[in-house]
Structure 1
Amino acid sequence: MSSMLLGGCAIAPSIPLFGAAFPDWLFCIAGGVAGTILVHLALSRRDANSALAPLAISYPALSALLAMAAWLIFFSRS
């Protein structure tokens, strides 16, 4: 029973960069925000910003979706 409870006690996933260890979710959030900016630029060039009607809700949701997708693609461990 105790081994099941201690199964989650592992080293935190981090990426060493410039001598410091950064958590992997930080890079996923940055990628999600960058992806949202790219989607915004693509929609604004086609004058299709109305496709994401309430921008205050849709852009944070899109950023979270892209960040979680990046984490699943790059950092999930099965």
Structure 2
Amino acid sequence: MTTAEKKRTLRVEYLKPKTDLKRTRLSNECTTSYAAELIGLERRQYELKEKGTYPFHDYEMFVLARYFNKKVSELFF
């Protein structure tokens, strides 16, 4: 298996939609714009991360978990 194939496999395995994060965000009546602002992103960038197109950075996960008063593992894994 080549490096590119390994990377593709890992993306499929780990870049999944963050449904727990979305559910928590909606239950707290938090917009994607506001969540994006919390971590210093544009709304569209945040939406792509929440959909699983791009990964969240560790500090972004920490900031969001802290804001929603949840553990990182509860929202992202």
Normalising by structure 2, we get a TM-score of 0.37
Answer 1 or 2: which has greater strand percent: 1
Larger radius of gyration: 1
TM-score of the pair, normalised by structure 1: 0.36
